[in-house]
Amino acid sequence: MNILLIGGGGREHALAVKLSQSPHTGKLYAVPGNPGIAEIAECIAGVDLEDNAALVKLAQEKEIDLAVVGPEMPLTNGVVDAFAAAGIRAFGPTKGAAELEGSKVYAKMIMKRYGIPTARYEVFNDIGRARVYVRQMRQPFAIKADGLAAGKGVILTQTADEAVAALDTIMQDKAFGEAGSRVVIEELMTGEEVSLLAFTDGETIVPMAAAQDHKRAQDGDEGPNTGGMGAYAPAPVMTPELLEEVRAKILRPLIDAMQKEGRPYKGCLYTGLMITKQGPKVVEFNARFGDPETQVILPLLESDLVEIMLACAEGNLAETPVHWSKEAAVCVVMASGGYPGPYAKGKEITGIDAAKAAGCLVFHAGTKKTADKLVTDGGRVLGVVGRAADIKRAVAKAYEGVEKIHFDGEYYRRDIAHRALARQA
Ligand code: AMP
Ligand code: GLY
- Other Cβ atoms less than 10 A from the Cβ of 240: the count is 7
**Which-ligand-closest: CA of 179?**
1
Distances (CA, A) of 264 to 250, 255, 261: 16, 7, 8
The C-alpha atoms of residue 406 and residue 392 are separated, in whole angstroms, by 23
Is 142 close to ligand 1, i.e. is its CB under 6 Å away? yes
Residue 63 alpha carbon to ligand 2 centre in Å: 31
**Which-ligand-closest: CA of 331?**
2
Is 405 close to ligand 1, i.e. is its CB under 6 Å away? no
Is 275 close to ligand 1, i.e. is its CB under 6 Å away? no
**Which-ligand-closest: CA of 291?**
2
In this predicted structure, the answer to whether residue 138 has a pLDDT above a threshold of 90 is: no
Residue to probe by mutation, ligand 1, list 215, 283, 288, 419, most atoms within 8 Å of CB: 283
Question: What average pLDDT score do residues 380-384 get?
Answer: 98
Pairing between β-strand 328-336 and β-strand 216-218 as defined by DSSP bridges = unpaired
The string of pLDDT tens digits covering residues 260-277 is 999 999 999 999 999 999
Q: Percent of the chain scored above 90 by pLDDT?
A: 84
Strand partners, 29: 4, 42
pLDDT band at 172 (very low <50, low <70, confident <90, very high): confident
The string of pLDDT tens digits covering residues 324-348 is 999 999 999 999 999 999 999 999 9
The C-alpha atoms of residue 271 and residue 251 are separated, in whole angstroms, by 8
pLDDT at 174: 87
Question: What average pLDDT score do residues 301-310 get?
Answer: 98
Is 116 close to ligand 1, i.e. is its CB under 6 Å away? no
Question: What average pLDDT score do residues 148-175 get?
Answer: 85
In this predicted structure, the answer to whether residue 298 has a pLDDT above a threshold of 80 is: yes
In this predicted structure, the answer to whether residue 137 has a pLDDT above a threshold of 90 is: no
pLDDT at 363: 98
In this predicted structure, the answer to whether residue 151 has a pLDDT above a threshold of 80 is: no
Q: Which residue's CA lies nearest to atom 5 of ligand 2?
A: 290
Whole-model pTM: value is 0.95
The string of pLDDT tens digits covering residues 213-258 is 999 999 999 998 888 999 999 999 999 999 999 999 999 999 999 9
The string of pLDDT tens digits covering residues 34-77 is 999 999 999 999 999 999 999 999 999 999 999 999 999 999 99
Residue 288 alpha carbon to ligand 2 centre in Å: 9
The string of pLDDT tens digits covering residues 107-136 is 999 999 999 999 999 888 988 888 888 888
Residue to probe by mutation, ligand 1, list 284, 293, 419, most atoms within 8 Å of CB: 284
Residues having CB within 6 Å of any atom of ligand 2: 151, 213, 228, 286, 290-291, 293
H or E stretch at 185: strand 183-187
Residue to probe by mutation, ligand 2, list 208, 213, 229, most atoms within 8 Å of CB: 213
The per-residue pLDDT of the chain, averaged, comes to 95
Closest CA to 314 of 11, 84, 57: 84
Is 119 close to ligand 1, i.e. is its CB under 6 Å away? yes
pLDDT at 146: 83
Residue 108 alpha carbon to ligand 1 centre in Å: 13
pLDDT at 349: 98
Angle at 375 between CA 369 and CA 378, to 5 degrees: 105
The C-alpha atoms of residue 258 and residue 154 are separated, in whole angstroms, by 25
Q: Which residue's CA lies nearest to atom 12 of ligand 1?
A: 193
In this predicted structure, the answer to whether residue 318 has a pLDDT above a threshold of 80 is: yes
**Which-ligand-closest: CA of 152?**
1
**Which-ligand-closest: CA of 184?**
1
Residue 293 alpha carbon to ligand 2 centre in Å: 7
Residue to probe by mutation, ligand 2, list 15, 75, 271, 291, most atoms within 8 Å of CB: 291
Atom of ligand 1 nearest to the CA of 190: 21
Residue-wise DSSP of 115-181: T--B--EEEES-HHHHHHHHHHSPSPEEEEESS--TT--EEEESSHHHHHHHHIIIIIS-TTGGGGG
Is 284 close to ligand 1, i.e. is its CB under 6 Å away? yes
Residue 182 alpha carbon to ligand 1 centre in Å: 17
Q: Which residue's CA lies nearest to atom 3 of ligand 1?
A: 284
Q: Which residue's CA lies nearest to atom 1 of ligand 1?
A: 284
pLDDT at 251: 98
Residue 289 alpha carbon to ligand 2 centre in Å: 8
H or E stretch at 223: strand 222-225
**Which-ligand-closest: CA of 107?**
1
pLDDT at 182: 86
Judge residue 53's burial from the number of C-beta atoms within 10 Å of its C-beta, 0-12 exposed, 13-18 middle, 19 or more buried. exposed
